[in-house]
Structure 1
Amino acid sequence: MNEIVLIIVFLSVLFFLLGSGVWVGASLIGCAIIGMELFTSRPVGDSMAITIWGSISSWTLTSLPLFIWMGEILFRTKLSESLFKGLTPWMYKLPGGLLHVNITGSAVFAAISGSSAATVATVGKMSIPELQKRKYSESMIVGTLAGAGTLGLLIPPSISLIIYAVTVNESIAKLFVAGILPGLMLAGLFMAFIAINSIYNKSGDTKDLSFNFKEKISALVSLLPILTLILCVIGSIYTGIATATEAAVLGVVGSLLIAAGQKSLNWENFRASLMGAVKTSSMIAFILMGSHFLSLAMGFTGLPRQLAEGIGSLELSPLTLIIFLTLFYIVLGCFLDGLSSIVLTMAVIEPLVRQAGFDMIWFGIYLMVVVEMAQITPPVGFNLFVLQSMTGHNMAFIARAAFPMFLIMIAAVFILVWFPEIVTFLPNAMG
């Protein structure tokens, strides 16, 4: 059967359902049902039941709700206040001043959350009022938060990396470790942009700030519980002491102890964090159900194999293929969030990149950077919506402010292409 007809039917049904306001998971399932009824003779009900159960009964996925819960607990502590007070003495003298707190604070919170929107909300809650009071450029405040918030998808424990690992059957532990250096690199690029921009466009006043060495150490001590938790979670995975799931349990216990130590752990916050984790995990599980069923339906039609063979016959160079995929995900990110983009496309993209000879660990990190762009591209950019509600600026202003960060992410993609060792060094060292 002509693959063009299949593509048109699948895309038409999918975008009709999404455009009608149907949930992403339900849209994927609906598209799969229609595709199987029209183009295959397979029993839809039996296939759906087996696939949906199999998609959410994986032991590997048990780490997902635990890492989400860890982030939810810490989101409700005094973490935003601790981040700002702990990082300010070390950042205020850098070119760009306290704007660097947005980047470093986001990087730290990304290492305990895995959620981009939660990272923006947590760091922005404390930094936006302080930066506005000190007359920092509004576009730089918004832009740096929008860009740095995306580190939640890359720096482990990343929810999106867990989904990718389960989808392509790769090691969560190796993907987590692989994301560390690229995440730090991207944070460094953001900070370099702030420093260069400050030379030409000075803003913000930190003249009243002064800290001696003892005060700097004291400020750093306030971050010690969080930094210890990060080192324990990531270190236990890297050294092989714990699996990703066991490390997630360690993270939950550690976050509960930190919340109790800060006296912010009460029944109301505990219940709110638990329900927040349940809602987010259920939403992701529903999307995964739909994704696996749609992948099965497309597999029955032979569409992924035909597309992979068709694109493979073009004999594109690896660099040309990466450029093509980058453009594809940027466009897709204008309409879908990052998680949906991953689960929706992997059925077709996975055989294509495997055939091209890409390392799937490297491709996963590349994909996270590209998908991060979806978080700051209108009209569907979750970070933009969070910042709009926090600052009151219109969407056009926020999108313009985030555009330099978008360009930096594109630069990061090509750095990873030319220097893949940035991704593969730590996973290879694990053995």
Structure 2
Amino acid sequence: MSEVSVGMIGIGCLFALMVLRTPVAFAMLIVGYFGYLFLEGSRAASAVMLTETYSAVSNYNLIVVPMFILLGNISSVAGFSRALYDAAFAWVGRFRGGLASASVLGCAVFSAVSGSSVATAVTIGKVALPQMKRLGYGDALATGSIAAGGTLGFLIPPSTGFVLYAILTEESIGRLFMAGILPGMLLMALFMGTIALIATIDPKAGPRGARVGWSDKLTLLGKSAPLLGIIGVSIGGIYAGIFTPVEASAIGAGLVTVLAFVMRAIGWKQFKVAVLETLKTSAMLYMVVIGANVLNPFLAVTHIPETLGNALVGMGLGAYGTLVLIILAYVVLGMFLDGLSMLVVTIPIVFPVILQLGFDPIWFGVVAVIVIEMGMITPPVGLNVFVVKGVAEDVPMLTVFRGVTPFLLAMIVGLVLIIAFPQIALLLPNTMFN
């Protein structure tokens, strides 16, 4: 049996394990270890397991994961996310669909402290959905805006998707963080434009909120200023070159912790809850990285990436034709896999192809993350849809999927723009590092 055949069987077993609900980290560990054992022997397989596990957990850059997760968890427990939402609603709530637009705006800002799509959707959803229901918003628009807005947590820095992409491809986390800012703002604007269009066509779907006076607007903005300041310090410090992403994560987590205690927004009990949640999420992500590090050597010895690259180039589709084919494959996988699973399973295979085609790896990281975001609101899996359904228990699942459809179209428009104009993603990282 050829090495390529063994590799294809291994990939098939990987997907079979995930279909059987095996956690993706352990599915990759099983396939990577036993596949390498079959091809190279027990001594080599054991060496890979030990060295790659140590290499993964000792990676200095991975510190950004628990630090930014802690930053988001404390912000949520302390109620800072509610202050962000209230400020956003005060400024845009008077427009048609303003409450939904405020939800998207709140998601975008909270994404800058959470780095997680699910955490963003849950946090803003718990605050916004009851308010939208009280004001008579349509269920489809209310749930769709939260589910779509939550996907920004995977794109706007600090993004766990970018951290994993950087580790898998050995690209700069700082450059990827900067590359996600303008595309994130573009998607936010497209989402808010979609809400305005829906509310214009059907005013009952998104009625106007109460007018808020300038003094109240400024007061609510002032209440959100401390967290906005922390975001500015951490993300702005990276852009200005004052500190690295790892240092920024620690500074942000430290500042929000001190701020929460000084303002008496949390006690030791709430702090303990935030820390425990951070440990659980971080342990899961570390296991995913370990699994990917064990799987990658197996894929390398099977020559799957090289074979796939030659096959795609041999099809004669050209660089952009091949890119479209890869994106379509991501869309299909997104219907069945969650975002992190797609990222760690596919990047080792498609990344060599992207380099061979001459595409910028930082730009492709943004494209890949956006396509993965689309999978978060695409049936039948649509992780963010299920998360929002958990918050809005009385809304039928079909209604939630119907609500995200216009936002999915907006994401396609955003993706096309970023492919047509790569500088949308590359302007900030090139300005920062050149």
Paired residues, what number? 430
Which piece of structure 1 moves more, 395-404 or 359-368? 395-404
Corresponding residue for residue 141 of structure 1: 142
Q: Note the C-alpha offset of 1:317.
A: 1.9
Q: Note the C-alpha offset of 1:261.
A: 4.0
Q: Note the C-alpha offset of 1:143.
A: 0.5
TM-score between the two structures when normalised by the length of structure 1: 0.96
1:5 alignment partner AA: S
- Describe the SS at the equivalent of 1:380: coil
1:90 alignment partner AA: W
Equivalence map 1:170-319=2 (5 Å): 170-203=171-204, 204-206=206-208, 209-319=210-320
Corresponding residue for residue 418 of structure 1: 420
Corresponding residue for residue 335 of structure 1: 336
Corresponding residue for residue 162 of structure 1: 163
> Structure 1: how far apart are the matches of 2:322 and 2:415?
13
Corresponding residue for residue 85 of structure 1: 86
1:212 alignment partner AA: G
In the alignment, is the contact (CA less than 8 A) between 2:120 and 2:150 conserved in 1? Answer: yes
Q: Note the C-alpha offset of 1:166.
A: 1.1
> Structure 1: how far apart are the matches of 2:82 and 2:278?
22
Which piece of structure 1 moves more, 335-344 or 212-221? 212-221
> Structure 1: how far apart are the matches of 2:213 and 2:17?
59
Q: Which runs of 5+ in 2 are unaligned?
A: none
In the alignment, is the contact (CA less than 8 A) between 1:256 and 1:265 conserved in 2? Answer: no
1:314 alignment partner AA: M
1:272 alignment partner AA: V
> Structure 2: how far apart are the matches of 1:61 and 1:85?
33
Q: Which runs of 5+ in 1 are unaligned?
A: none
Q: After superposition, what is the alpha-carbon deviation per residue over 1:319-364, rounded to whole angstroms, capped at 9, x for unaligned?
A: 2122111111111112211111111111111110000011111011
Q: Percent of aligned positions with the same letter in both sequences?
A: 33
Corresponding residue for residue 53 of structure 1: 54
In the alignment, is the contact (CA less than 8 A) between 1:77 and 1:262 conserved in 2? Answer: no
Q: Note the C-alpha offset of 1:205.
A: 4.0
Which piece of structure 1 moves more, 217-226 or 15-24? 15-24
> Structure 2: how far apart are the matches of 1:125 and 1:46?
47
1:12 matched to 2:12? The reply is yes
> Structure 1: how far apart are the matches of 2:396 and 2:90?
32
Q: Note the C-alpha offset of 1:396.
A: 2.4
> Structure 1: how far apart are the matches of 2:7 and 2:253?
43
- Describe the SS at the equivalent of 2:98: coil
2:351 alignment partner AA: E
In the alignment, is the contact (CA less than 8 A) between 1:48 and 1:293 conserved in 2? Answer: yes
Corresponding residue for residue 64 of structure 1: 65
> Structure 2: how far apart are the matches of 1:148 and 1:322?
26
From 403, 406, 409, the equivalent of 1:404 is 406
Corresponding residue for residue 37 of structure 2: 37
Q: After superposition, what is the alpha-carbon deviation per residue over 1:176-235, rounded to whole angstroms, capped at 9, x for unaligned?
A: 11111000000000011111111110024446x222222221121111111111110111
Which piece of structure 1 moves more, 403-412 or 351-360? 403-412
Q: After superposition, what is the alpha-carbon deviation per residue over 1:119-156, rounded to whole angstroms, capped at 9, x for unaligned?
A: 11111111111111111111000111110100001101
TM-score between the two structures when normalised by the length of structure 2: 0.95
Corresponding residue for residue 363 of structure 2: 362
Q: Note the C-alpha offset of 1:267.
A: 1.2
Point out 4+ residue stretches in structure 1 off by more than 6 angstroms. none
Corresponding residue for residue 74 of structure 2: 73
